[in-house]
Copies of this chain bind each other. A is one copy, B any other.
């Protein structure tokens, strides 16, 4: 499990005075940056031809509201490893409280051929190391 700190933005709030639900998918995506650099050697020049990853599913359960003014800890781990896809579990904690948790399914994907691809052994090994609930640096 690895962790990033997200500072809620003023524009993340809505008229109910708390962080809007649409902010969470962006925060969770930011926390998945290590996956992007794992699958693409140079994300600075990433494009369809060299970024072999696609998101097939996302779900989020909202447990407690998130407010402006206190940083949020986003925790990320790999929870399932399939042949060509894997599931990432993510949690958002604020002030010691689990506020939101969710999952995405990412698929190893050739955007040009529009086909999924089996995860090659070196990538599987790296993803397997990210399945731990112990704190790690990706």
Residue positions of A touching B, CB distance < 8 A: 4, 7, 9-11, 13-18, 20-23, 25-26, 29-30, 32-33, 36-37, 42-48, 51, 54-62, 67-70, 111
Q: A36 and B56: CB pair below 8 A? A: no
CB-defined contacts of A37 to chain B, threshold 8 Å: 69
Q: A15 and B62: CB pair below 8 A? A: no
CB-defined contacts of A23 to chain B, threshold 8 Å: 11
CB-defined contacts of A25 to chain B, threshold 8 Å: 21-22, 25
CA of A62 to CA of B54, assembled, Å:
9
Q: B15 and A21: CB pair below 8 A? A: no
Q: When A and B form their complex, which 8 residue pairs have the shortest distance between CB atoms, in order from nearest?
A: A59-B59, A43-B69, A44-B67, A13-B15, A11-B22, A44-B69, A22-B25, A11-B20
